[in-house]
Structure 1
Amino acid sequence: TSSIHDCLLGGKTHFPLDRTAAQRLGGAIPTVAAQLREHDAFVERAVRHLAQEGIIQFLDLGCGLPRLRNVHEIAGAVTPNARTVYVDRDELVVTHGRALLTADGVAAVVPGDLRDPRAITGDLGVRALLDFNRPAAVLLTAVLHFADAPAGIIAELCRLLAPGSAVVISHACRNALPDEVEQEVVEVFADTDTPIALRTAEEIRTLFDGLDVAAPGVVPVAQWRPDHDLHYESPQIIGGVGTWRGRL
């Protein structure tokens, strides 16, 4: 799926099947590339905000292929001692990530499945950079719609994190999609190894239950603390940032 994302944004790390899927998505949602660009800008703003708040540890789960601006670069521009671990279950993503993102003492890429948070936080490659006795930021961006039980994943993650840790979540939202468009999106991903589960805005907001949600709340990603004129905004991807205080 990260290869489809890459194709939609004009990248080069994809295959014929990815191009077919991207064409189908673009046909169903003509603004999909603009939405993905706004989504990536949201992730950048969220990471910058958390680094400015003093968090220096970042765990990017289901990280996908390297982007134009990556988490360790964004955080490092704010606080030079920031450390980031990227995790993905896709061998292609891990291979490309290790080639392009690894930096000694700063960033690492490890294989792992976000559906098993305990295995990830216990991984020696992860622990070489991150200390989970101290606050960390976990990114779950554009990935939980590929999970069957996202609330359980978040709850287990929080139990493994220190109080004061943050969770960044973004998720595809079904509210504004006509039925035929939603069906086409579901069918596109049914042909991959990561079927998609579109959820309502209310279902997505419940993923933040137990977290202190930063203003402006769980909103369309373009509306989350925008730092530029909004050329396009859509309710089809919503997200937010929550802090765990140790009381889930």
Structure 2
Amino acid sequence: MLRPAHARVLDALLPLDLDREYGPDDPFRWVGKDNYSIDQEMIAPINVCAPGFGASVRAGHVFQLRAVAALADRGVCQFVVIGCGYPRERNVGSVARSIISAASVLYLDDGMIVSAYGLALLDTENRYLRADLDDPYSILAAIEHTRLRPGGIDPSRPVALVFGSLVLERLKDPTTVIAELVAAFPSGYLAATHVCTDADTEADTVVNVATVYTEYHLTMRPRTTAEVAALLAGVELLEPGLTVAQDWKPAPTTKSGEASERSSLAALGAWGGTQ
């Protein structure tokens, strides 16, 4: 029996166009194009028990692209996306290369179908490999695999590690994954988002979402702000620190959103003297 998958559920949670403002009755408000009816079936009770959750996930996803642009503006030209999900028209590679045309981007994910889509749909300037996202050594092996190849990742230069949306919430031990990856590179940056139970005034809604995930045999572990901060203890957080995703250097047109839409925290950190 077909079950929901993390990457497809994320796709169903995100709108087709991240930049478009959808009306409340728009049938495509929270439906991407790379998901099945079973994934939308799972989203239905989430939209009932936590109607702002999709907007919160979207805000976290948009933060990642803003963070990549900010890093590229600093001259960072190497990006590793850990748990990238299905390719979208606007992604880490397209954002980074709009600023640095020669930027190197490596996409990693653990899903077989996601990998097939990635290999087929991403342009030839991107690299896409499968890796066990719970295993930092599998991630590092994938990065090493590209090192001597054109457009590969050079560990001796600053590397930006970008954790995909709703990835840290499903890892068994994200603290170890982050710590091992940071320790493996002399310098770099880390961009991450995480669903939080105390970032808004309706924390129970996030717990309800986690319950829906469990009912559909998927994992989503929301954490408190203190717990998320502990995950990032190995990096120095850049301004404005760990904050609600909508509040991380927002564009002038960014709306703060209702309380239930503000459950995704976001942070950009650095280590090894990079600032």
Q: Identify whether the pair has TM-score above 0.5, normalized to the shorter chain.
A: yes
Q: Secondary structure at the match of 1:4?
A: helix
* Mapping for residues 1-248 of structure 1, pairs under 5 Å: 1-8=6-13, 9=15, 10-103=31-124, 106-123=125-142, 125-127=145-147, 128=149, 129-142=152-165, 143-163=167-187, 165-175=188-198, 176=200, 178=202, 181-192=205-216, 194-233=218-257, 234-245=261-272
Q: 1:181 and 1:188, CA in 2 relative to 1: closer, same or farther beyond 3 A?
A: same
| CA distance, structure 1, for counterparts of residue 242 and residue 8 of structure 2 | 27
Tell whether the 8 Å contact from 1:141 to 1:171 is kept in structure 2 after alignment. Answer: no
The 1:183/1:216 distance shift into structure 2, 3 A limit, reads: closer
SS across alignment from 2:267: strand
Q: 1:232: Cα distance to partner?
A: 3.8
Structure 2 vs 1, CA of residues 131 and 50 (structure 1 numbering), >3 Å: closer, same or farther?
same
Q: Is the 8 A contact 1:108 1:125 kept in 2?
A: no
Q: Which ranges of 4 or more aligned residues in structure 1 deviate by more than 4 Å?
A: 177-180
Q: Secondary structure at 2:79's aligned position in 1?
A: strand
Q: Distance in 2 between matches of 1:141 and 1:62?
A: 5
Task: Provide the aligned C-alpha RMSD in A.
Answer: 1.9
Percent identity for Structure 1 against Structure 2:
28
Separation in 2 of the partners of 1:89 and 1:12?
A: 20
> 8 Å contact 2:206–2:263 — kept in the other structure?
no
The answer on whether the counterparts of 2:50 and 2:208 sit within 8 Å (CA) in structure 1 is no
Structure 2 CA distance, aligned partners of 1:68 and 1:232?
A: 25
Q: Aligned-pair distance for 1:180? A: 5.0
What is the alpha-carbon distance in structure 1 between the residues aligned to residue 56 and residue 251 of structure 2?
Answer: 16
| 1:8-34 Cα deviation digits (max 9, x unpaired) | 322121122201111111111112232
Gaps of 5+ in 1: none
The SS at the match of 1:199 is coil
Deviation at 1:245, TM superposition (A): 1.7
- Residues 1:54 and 1:192: Cα distance change in structure 2 (over 3 Å): farther
Q: What TM-score does the superposition give when structure 2 sets the normalisation length?
A: 0.82
Matched residue, 2:21: none
